């Protein structure tokens, strides 16, 4: 029994460290604890622990360790591992969200994903030098706490990775799904009905892009061929437009009418489709509230590809129920993962996707390459490139 148990554990440790099979999600420290317990229980030889220690890189050879927080968005860690598989001095691990506080002290780089990295967790990260997002959003990271502990916080800019393009395409997918009544079409197929429902087109519609950053710009570029009128708001525009809060653009511009935050209700009242592309922060949380949706045209559609917290749940539920809101297309939600029994999903004019707007082969492989190169640069002590450090 002893030999079988120790052989199994050693084999598990070896496979985990080599990145093989299902055990790749096991953490080095978890296996270490199991091996210590096994040694105490069966009086296993110290050599077993020493061998594991050597395999883990604790024998004096420098190892740079990268921790991915959470098992969701598997392409992020799978593609990064694939990119770094030929570099034995770089170890990539994945920990369930609840285990991150227990393990973070062992790592040099933390990839936060959807983790809420507060000051208490950051205080435990004694080795950590870099917190990164596999993408753009850093609202879950206490940047002030990271700065206090000498930890850099960074995002991967969306423009160069294809992430912004992927999100823009998803916004158009949701628009078309609502306009062509996706759920009713599925019902017609099941019931063998032809020629219904009667849908609508993007042609001639007015689209309000709220938050004209990288995603907004890529969206506007892709909407132009649909012959739509585009309104957009942004905190500040280039100096050429600062003399007027709103101006009418030439035919060559991406946006027909530009405005600032003060214009969101006015623009919402004129739009057939509102697309939320805002960054999530204390100023924008819940910005799409009852006042905002009430200001929208009756029957207009609302799209959110940014963050779920930008929308007030009670507000859009009420306006869906009353019929004022024509349709809701969201890739992000009030709680994630989504509750499949949420009453919102009972409305036929609601389309929800599982936070996959930026999850495409192109964008994820590009971001994995950037992250992998950052890990290499960190290990070699060279300047970090391809990322935006925010503190």
Task: Say how far apart CA 110 and CA 88 lie, in whole Å.
Answer: 18
Is residue 306 a contact partner of residue 280, using CB atoms and an 8 Å limit? Answer: yes
What structural domains does the chain harbor?
A: 1-59 (no CATH), 62-161+360-391 (3.40.50.720), 163-352 (3.40.50.720)
Is residue 340 a contact partner of residue 350, using CB atoms and an 8 Å limit? Answer: no
DSSP codes, 6-67: HHHHHHHHHHHHHT-SGGGGS-HHHHHHHHHHHHHHHT--HHHHHHHHHHTT-SSS--EEEE
CA separation, residue 313 to residues 138, 276, 279, 318, 330 (Å)? 22, 15, 18, 9, 12
The pLDDT, as a whole number, for residue 8 is 54
3-state secondary structure of 182: helix
Q: Which two tokens stand for residue 266?
A: 């006015």
Nearest to 7 by CA among 53, 41, 38: 38
| Range 368-379 burial, b when 16+ CB lie within 10 A, else e | bbbbbbbbbebb
Stated pTM of the model: 0.78
Q: What is the mean pLDDT of each run of 10 residues along the chain (391 residues)?
A: 50 52 44 48 44 49 91 95 94 94 95 94 95 90 95 90 93 98 95 95 97 93 96 83 43 82 95 94 90 96 95 94 96 91 94 94 94 95 92 93
The pLDDT, as a whole number, for residue 4 is 52
Show the 3-state SS of 325-386.
CCEEEECCCCCCCCCCCCHHHHCCCEEECCCCCCCCHHHHHHHHHHHHHHHHHHHHCCCCCC
| Beta strands at 206-210 and 130-132: parallel, antiparallel or unpaired | unpaired
Q: Which two tokens stand for residue 204?
A: 């001639």
């Amino acid at each position: 029994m002893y030999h079988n148990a120790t052989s199994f554990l050693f084999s598990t440790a070896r496979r985990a460290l080599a990145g093989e099979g299902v055990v790749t999600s096991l953490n080095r420290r978890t296996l270490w604890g199991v091996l210590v317990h096994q040694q105490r229980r069966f009086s296993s030889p110290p050599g077993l622990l020493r061998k594991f220690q050597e395999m883990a890189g604790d024998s004096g050879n420098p190892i740079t360790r990268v921790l991915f927080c959470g098992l969701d968005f598997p392409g992020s860690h799978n593609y990064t591992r694939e990119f770094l598989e030929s570099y034995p001095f770089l170890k990539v691990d994945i920990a369930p969200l609840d285990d991150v506080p227990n393990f973070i002290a062992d790592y040099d780089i933390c990839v936060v994903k959807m983790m809420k990295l507060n000051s208490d967790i950051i205080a435990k990260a004694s080795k950590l030098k870099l917190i990164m997002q596999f993408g753009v959003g850093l609202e879950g990271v206490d940047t002030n706490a990271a700065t206090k502990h000498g930890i850099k916080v960074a995002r991967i800019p969306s423009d160069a990775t294809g992430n912004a393009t992927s999100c823009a395409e998803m916004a158009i997918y949701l628009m078309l799904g609502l306009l062509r009544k996706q759920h009713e079409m599925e019902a017609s197929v099941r019931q063998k009905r032809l020629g219904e429902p009667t849908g609508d087109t993007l042609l001639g519609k007015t689209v309000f892009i709220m938050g004209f950053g990288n995603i907004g710009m890529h969206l506007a570029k892709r909407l132009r061929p649909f012959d739509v009128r585009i309104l957009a708001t942004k905190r500040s525009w280039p100096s050429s437009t600062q003399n007027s809060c709103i101006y009418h653009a030439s035919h060559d511009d991406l946006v027909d009418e530009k405005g600032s935050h003060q214009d969101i209700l006015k623009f919402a009242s004129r739009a057939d489709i509102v697309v939320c592309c805002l960054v999530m922060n204390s100023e924008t949380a819940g910005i799409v509230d009852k006042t905002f949706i009430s200001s929208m045209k009756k029957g207009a559609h609302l799209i959110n590809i940014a963050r779920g917290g930008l929308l007030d749940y009670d507000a859009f539920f009420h306006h869906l129920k009353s019929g004022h809101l024509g349709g809701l297309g969201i890739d992000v939600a009030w709680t994630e993962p989504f509750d499949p029994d949420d009453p919102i999903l009972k409305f036929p004019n609601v389309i929800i996707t599982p936070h996959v707007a930026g999850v495409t082969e192109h964008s994820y492989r590009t971001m994995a390459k950037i992250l992998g190169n950052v890990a290499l640069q960190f290990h070699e002590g060279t300047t970090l490139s391809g990322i935006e450090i925010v503190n």
